[in-house]
């Protein structure tokens, strides 16, 4: 399990650890890991041109000490200071002692024009343009509210240069705790983070700014609480959670999942939800709704019934909503059952919040950003900008587990606790019907006995991997192919013989 902790928790752990260590030891551990990562990315340190963007806090201190290490190995290192009089004094002295230089980043006249807020000093743009490596030590976990104006041109210049950009702890300008990016931020090729991941490094949009993330162990782990703020399942976690039938299993012991989906107008949604459900490990899939003929034609193993859900026979979990149009009755009826229920697509619009809150069995809601926005009374853009607060709010309002789809799908439980972020997402999954497959898959795992948080996050993991594998070398895939690929990735995950794809971390 990969975990991430909020800034407040990191600060508390850091205080505990610092109290046991000589002054400055922690920063030296951070700088040493940072310098090693930079050296690796540079390939050849000797003769390389390194520019450090240095803010007024310890984040800048890390950059300066790492710069000193690179300078000792023969790199030409220049620090651009955003607040010369408040620069980390020890770091600056170390850099100078190692042969590096420092100059003011902001303010001075540019191309003959008078200095203005946000202007860079003469020669700064050229330095960044010609650099092999830019180290972003503008601001780390001490920052909030986006980049300050004086730092913005440096972020812009770094983005425009061909240099490898390495962010120290976090790309400056992103929100560590939520992954929000309000305004300009540094776009890094790699982020070297210390002690633990911060939530923002794993959640879009900030994750995209972080590039490949590397964690440097500075001894913080024993001082962090056992429960993280954010978790990402890895192959081994998923393998341990996947149901596997015992020798004496029959279909009822493996779980029967009921799918109430589709309509005369949208039979495809039913077919796709069933296809997902058939690959999720349940012993049987029962389909209820007007698209029975289409379902049976494609998947003859489905148990199809024409009547209402309450008359369909025994199920251990329901999936309701994909393609049901305006059939509120079917949603109400399924929500009235006493087994776990997954509500997706049209079902989300039709589900009565009080009825969801009143349920005693678990409920799992699986909206995309637009659907989540409608449920929360906000805009799609706002949900996409602040995904973590949105999924938490949704789970709390409905007293349900909420899965918010996206390139970094998030799953939040109703009672707080760690939020899960899916590391296997791919933009190829943004394809029609892909969500129907996911809901069938997650419903099947619910029927197999996984709790709602596990069912949702395991389904997102397999679905993401299947999307990646089906897309192969980057060709578009249809939702049916994604469903058909789930069995293969399931085998790979259980077999453990397949390295987890790097999702940037």
Q: Which of 131, 147, 419, 450 touches ligand NPW (CB under 6 A)?
A: 147
**What is d(CA 108, CA 340) in angstroms, rounded to the nearest whole number?**
64
- The interface region with ligand NPW, picked from 144-152, 263-271, 320-328, 373-381 by CB under 6 A, is 144-152
3 contributes a contact to ligand NPW by CB under 6 A: no
CB of 245 to ligand NPW, least distance (A): 46
Report whether 422 belongs to an annotated binding site: no
429 contributes a contact to K ion by CB under 5 A: no
User: In degrees to the nearest 10, what's the CA dihedral of 36, 224, 211, 463?
Assistant: 130
Token readout for 175 is: 């929100």
CB of 227 to ligand NPW, least distance (A): 19
Contact partner at residue 27 from ligand NPW, K ion, none, CB < 5 to 8 Å by partner kind:
ligand NPW
Cis upstream peptide for 370 (omega within 30°): no
**What is d(CA 323, CA 347) in angstroms, rounded to the nearest whole number?**
8
492 contributes a contact to ligand NPW by CB under 6 A: no
**What is d(CA 239, CA 461) in angstroms, rounded to the nearest whole number?**
11
492 contributes a contact to K ion by CB under 5 A: no
* 350-366 core/surface letters (b: 16 or more CB in 10 A; e: else): bbeeeebeebeebbbbb
Binders in 11-30 for ligand NPW, by CB under 6 A: 14, 26-27, 30
153 contributes a contact to ligand NPW by CB under 6 A: no
Binders in 96-155 for K ion, by CB under 5 A: 136, 140
CB of 78 to ligand NPW, least distance (A): 20
Q: How far is CA 53 from the centre of its chain?
A: 27
Q: Which of 66, 120, 141, 410 touches ligand NPW (CB under 6 A)?
A: 141
Contact 76, 50 (CB under 8 A): yes
Question: Per-residue string for binding with ligand NPW, 167-206, x by CB under 6 A?
Answer: -xx------------------------xx-----------
CB of 416 to ligand NPW, least distance (A): 24
- Alpha helices by DSSP H, listed for 21-143, are 25-42, 58-72, 89-97, 124-130
Which run of H or of E encompasses 419? strand 419-421
Report whether 408 belongs to an annotated binding site: yes
CB of 280 to K ion, least distance (A): 41
Token readout for 40 is: 């690796």
What is the β-pairing status of strands 49-54 and 256-260? unpaired
Report whether 211 belongs to an annotated binding site: no
Token readout for 436 is: 């129907």
CB of 191 to ligand NPW, least distance (A): 11
Q: Which of 35, 105, 128, 138 touches ligand NPW (CB under 6 A)?
A: 138
- The interface region with ligand NPW, picked from 93-101, 142-150, 228-236, 336-344 by CB under 6 A, is 142-150
Residues 380, 381, 384, 387, CA torsion sign: negative
Token readout for 116 is: 């203005």
CA distances in angstroms from 148 to 116, 139, 267, listed in the order given: 14, 10, 52
CA distances in angstroms from 46 to 132, 189, 192, 260, 301, listed in the order given: 12, 21, 21, 65, 65
Nearer to ligand NPW, 169 or 333 (CB): 169
Report whether 218 belongs to an annotated binding site: no
483 contributes a contact to ligand NPW by CB under 6 A: no
Q: How many CB atoms lie within 10 A of CB 243?
A: 20
Q: Which of 9, 48, 172, 485 touches K ion (CB under 5 A)?
A: 172
Q: How far is CA 46 from the centre of its chain?
A: 36
Q: Which of 118, 142, 292, 501 touches ligand NPW (CB under 6 A)?
A: 142
CB of 468 to K ion, least distance (A): 30
Q: How many residues line the site for K ion (CB under 5 A)?
A: 5
CB of 193 to ligand NPW, least distance (A): 8
CA distances in angstroms from 430 to 99, 103, 239, 408, listed in the order given: 51, 47, 25, 12
168 contributes a contact to K ion by CB under 5 A: yes
Binders in 53-112 for ligand NPW, by CB under 6 A: 55-60, 62
Nearer to ligand NPW, 36 or 374 (CB): 36
DSSP string, 229-250: SEEE--HHHHHHHS----TT--
- The interface region with ligand NPW, picked from 147-155, 202-210, 418-426, 485-493 by CB under 6 A, is 147-155
Binders in 372-401 for K ion, by CB under 5 A: none
Nearer to ligand NPW, 57 or 289 (CB): 57
Report whether 60 belongs to an annotated binding site: yes
Contact 207, 201 (CB under 8 A): yes
Report whether 58 belongs to an annotated binding site: yes
Report whether 3 belongs to an annotated binding site: no
Q: Count Cα neighbours of 435 within 13 Å in the Cβ-side half-sphere.
A: 27
Annotated binding site: 58-62, 136, 140-146, 169, 172, 269, 323, 368, 405-409, 435-436
Rule CB under 5 A: which residues touch K ion? Answer: 136, 140, 167-168, 172
Rule CB under 6 A: which residues touch ligand NPW? Answer: 10, 14, 26-27, 30, 55-60, 62, 138-148, 151, 168-169, 194-195, 218, 220
């Amino acid at each position: 399990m990969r975990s991430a902790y909020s800034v407040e928790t990191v600060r508390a752990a850091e205080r505990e650890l610092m109290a046991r260590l000589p002054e400055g030891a922690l920063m030296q551990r951070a700088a040493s890991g940072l310098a090693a990562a930079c050296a690796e990315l540079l390939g050849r340190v000797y003769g390389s041109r390194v520019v450090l963007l240095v803010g007024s806090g310890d984040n800048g201190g890390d950059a300066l000490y790492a710069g000193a290490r690179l300078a000792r190995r023969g790199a030409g290192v220049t620090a651009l200071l955003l607040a010369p009089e408040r620069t980390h004094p020890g770091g600056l002295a170390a850099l100078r002692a190692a042969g590096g230089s420092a100059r003011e980043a902001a303010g001075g006249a540019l191309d003959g024009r008078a200095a203005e807020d946000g202007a860079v000093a003469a020669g700064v743009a050229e330095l960044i343009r010609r650099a092999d490596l830019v180290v972003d030590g503008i601001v780390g976990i001490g920052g909030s509210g986006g980049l300050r104006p004086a730092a913005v041109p440096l972020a812009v210049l770094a983005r425009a240069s061909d240099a490898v950009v390495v962010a120290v702890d976090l790309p400056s300008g992103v929100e560590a705790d939520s992954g929000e990016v309000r305004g300009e931020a540094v776009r890094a090729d790699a982020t070297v983070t210390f002690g633990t991941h911060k939530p923002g490094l794993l959640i879009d949009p900030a994750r995209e700014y972080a590039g490949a993330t590397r964690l440097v162990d500075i001894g913080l782990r024993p001082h962090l609480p056992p429960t993280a703020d954010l978790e990402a399942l890895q192959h081994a976690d998923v393998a341990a959670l996947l149901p596997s039938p015992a020798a004496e299993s029959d279909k009822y012991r493996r779980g029967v999942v009921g799918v109430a989906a589709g309509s005369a107008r949208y039979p495809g949604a039913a077919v796709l939800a069933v296809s997902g459900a058939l690959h999720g490990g349940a012993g049987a899939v029962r389909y209820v709704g007007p698209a029975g003929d289409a379902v049976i034609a494609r998947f003859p193993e489905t148990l199809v019934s024409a009547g209402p859900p309450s008359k369909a026979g025994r199920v251990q979990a329901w999936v309701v909503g994909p393609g049901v149009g305006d059939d509120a009755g079917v949603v109400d009826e399924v929500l009235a059952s006493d087994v776990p229920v997954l509500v997706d697509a049209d079902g989300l619009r039709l589900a009565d919040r009080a009825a969801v809150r009143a349920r005693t069995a678990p409920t799992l809601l699986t909206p995309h950003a637009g659907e989540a926005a409608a449920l929360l009374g906000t805009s799609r853009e706002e949900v996409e900008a602040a995904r973590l607060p949105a999924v938490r709010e949704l789970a709390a309002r409905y007293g349900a587990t909420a899965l918010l789809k996206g390139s970094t799908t998030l799953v939040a439980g109703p009672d707080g606790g760690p939020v899960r972020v899916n590391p296997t997402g791919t933009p190829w999954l943004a394809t029609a019907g892909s969500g129907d497959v996911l809901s069938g898959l997650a419903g099947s795992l619910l029927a197999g006995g996984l709790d709602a948080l596990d069912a949702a996050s395991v389904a997102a993991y397999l679905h993401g991997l299947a999307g990646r594998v089906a897309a192969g070398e980057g060709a578009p895939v249809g939702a049916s192919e994604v469903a058909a690929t789930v069995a293969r990735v399931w085998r790979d995950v259980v077999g453990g013989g397949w390295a987890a794809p790097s999702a940037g971390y």
